[in-house]
Amino acid sequence: METPIVDLKNININHDDKNILSDISLSIKKGEFIYLIGKTGSGKSSLLKILYGNLKILDGEANVVGINVIKIKEKEIPFLRRKLGIVFQDFKLLSDRSIKKNLEFVLRATDWKDKKKIEDRIQTVLEKVKLQNTENKFPHELSGGEQQRIAIARALLNKPELILADEPTGNLDPATSAEIMEVLKKINKSGTTILIATHDYDIISKFPAKTIRIENNKFFELSEKK
User: Which helix (H) or strand (E) is 15 found in, with range?
Assistant: strand 6-15
Q: Which CATH class, in words, describes the domain spanning 6-222?
A: alpha beta
The model's pTM: 0.93
Torsion angles phi and psi, residue 186, rounded to 5: -65, -40
At 128-174, the pLDDT tens digits run 999 999 999 999 999 999 999 999 999 999 999 999 999 999 989 99
Please state, in angstroms and rounded to a whole number, the distance separating the CA atoms of residues 215 and 198: 14
Please state, in angstroms and rounded to a whole number, the distance separating the CA atoms of residues 132 and 135: 7
In the chain, the amino acid numbered 140 is H
At 79-100, the pLDDT tens digits run 999 999 999 988 999 999 999 9
